[in-house]
Amino acid sequence: MNKYRALITLSLIGTILVGCDNSKNDTNKQQLANDIVNSMVTVKGGRFQMGDFGPLVGEKLPFSPGLDNKPLHWVELSDFKIT
């Protein structure tokens, strides 16, 4: 019985010690974050119309039956970064 107890105890201690070594993992996360930030590009903001513009052209019919893109409206975005 003592052999099993010792084996379980050593296994738990080993698992805990292995789980505590996060230095390599933290370094990888930081490198990934740096790579993402360095690959970002700036998109200049502006103003545009967003929504269903079908009623303004051609047969004056909507391009989609859904209500999630109505009414046609103006949107203004600030400059932003994206990767």
- Tell me the pLDDT tens digit for each residue of 10-45: 777 777 766 666 667 778 899 999 999 999 999 999
pLDDT at position 18 is 67
Residues 29, 30, 31, 35, Cα dihedral to 10° = 100
The DSSP bridge partners found for residue 81 are: 42
Q: Where do the domains of the chain lie?
A: 43-58+69-83
Rounded to two decimals, the pTM is 0.48
Contact 47, 74 (CB under 8 A): yes
User: Between the CA of residue 32 and those of 27, 35, 40, what are the distances in Å?
Assistant: 9, 5, 13
